[in-house]
Homo-oligomer: A and B are copies of this chain.
Amino acid sequence: METMKEQQTANDGLTTEEKILAAAGKVFTRKGMAGARMQDIANEAGINKALLHYYFRSKEKLFDAIFEKTFQQFVPLMHLEFDSTDDFRQMLRNMVRLYVMMVKKSPYLPSFLLNEMHQNPDKIQHLLLKMKVSEFPKRLQIRFSEAGITGDPRQLLLTLISGVIFPFAAKPLLMPLFFENNEKIFDRFITDRSVFLEDLMLRMLVNREDDDAKLDSDNSNFNTNAL
């Protein structure tokens, strides 16, 4: 072995570089590029500030690494469902559940990306090219055609994503307004919303000429009784 580059499990079973990335992820996603301090990250990682510059030359380089890593958590999620599930309706259900699960796990992620993409849109551009996201709309269109569905797939997709993400992104506002500052109530709402959105996605595809479409369950959240 020539230089033995690999560093081994320092104390927590984590490389120093891994500790830095984990810490930077936390701090950056919470405070954003401008709000995060290198000292905060160093503290969070339990190391000296200079080490940050030793592993990643500058704050921007470190941020880029985090931004890219964070962004990459989204993309494969999208691609996946397109290929996996044959049944279009089931695919929509899965997507809703997948997104909910994901955002539940990292609730700071959406507003972080939503905010930082405005600061330097060029970075987004670069990332989109790096991964193969450009073919995304076409594949969506194909699934639509295969399922015999007309209309703009982008409308459905944006409704789906925004519907899942928004309650988390606006949580600090909604919490006292809609959920009595009670985390349990919020969680219950999210559970309900997952079902609601799944139902909504299917409902989008149903119109009057299509009443025999097999709606698996009857837990539709909205019923018109009068008017």
Contact = CB atoms under 8 A, between A and B. Distances in A.
Contacts of A134: 176-177
Contact of A172 (B121, B137, B206): B121
Contact of A222 (B169, B176, B205): B205
Interface in A31-74: 31-35
Interface stretch (A7-15, A16-24, A96-104, A108-116): A108-116
Interface of A is mostly: helix
A149 B221 CA distance: 10
Interface string A156-173: 101101110111011011
B196 A210 contact: no
Please tell me the size bucket of the interface on A.
35 or more
Contact of A111 (B118, B121, B177, B224): B118
28 contacts: A30-B118, A31-B119, A34-B34, A108-B118, A111-B118, A114-B115, A114-B170, A117-B172, A128-B177, A134-B176, A147-B227, A148-B227, A149-B222, A149-B223, A149-B224, A150-B223, A151-B222, A151-B223, A154-B189, A159-B163, A161-B166, A162-B165, A162-B167, A205-B224, A206-B224, A207-B223, A208-B211, A210-B224
Interface of A: 30-35, 88-89, 108, 111, 113-115, 117-119, 121, 124-125, 128, 133-134, 136-137, 147-152, 154-156, 158-159, 161-163, 165-167, 169-170, 172-178, 189, 192-193, 196-197, 200, 203-211, 213, 220-227
